Chains A and B, each alone.
Chain A
Amino acid sequence: MNQQAEPARLMCSRCDRDIDSCEFCDEPECPSAICGRCVDLALGQAIAQPHGHGG
């Protein structure tokens, strides 16, 4: 009986979140895959936490 092997899960290399493909290079098998949130933080497109002085 054939059992299809479960496809390997892709995880963000920085935060371990499950992802479908690397959000930087769009490749589903990227060895350094990262999620969109980590891309934004790495590139300064988002801030890590709200301002300490309130919004």
Chain B
Amino acid sequence: MPEAIDRDDVRRLAGEGAQLVEVLPAGEYAEDHLPGAINLPLRRLEAEARDVLDRSRPVVVYCWDAA
């Protein structure tokens, strides 16, 4: 089960080499994204996640908010 984390965890994991993934559409990603995050919109996850992401490293996904 994916673990829900807070922003302190995000900073720690990023420092340890985790892959940050924004799953919002490209336009929203282009405006603002977490430093070092890549963009993998949710509807492209099926097609691209296995090619783009490294299974050996942790992955942190995020969108706009919890609403």
Taking beta carbons and an 8 Å cutoff, which residues of A are in contact with B?
A: 47, 50-51, 53, 55
Contact assessment for B67 and A55 in the assembled complex, using a CB-CB cutoff below 8 Å: yes
Contact assessment for B67 and A53 in the assembled complex, using a CB-CB cutoff below 8 Å: no
Chain B interface helix/strand/loop/mixed: loop
Contact assessment for A53 and B64 in the assembled complex, using a CB-CB cutoff below 8 Å: no
Interface residues on B, range: under 10
Q: Which residue of B lies closest to A50 (CB)?
A: B67
> In angstroms, how far is the closest chain B Cβ from the Cβ of A52?
9
Q: List 5 contacting pairs A-B, 8 Å CB cutoff, sorted by A.
A: A47-B64, A51-B24, A51-B64, A53-B25, A53-B43
Q: Which residue of A lies closest to B42 (CB)?
A: A53
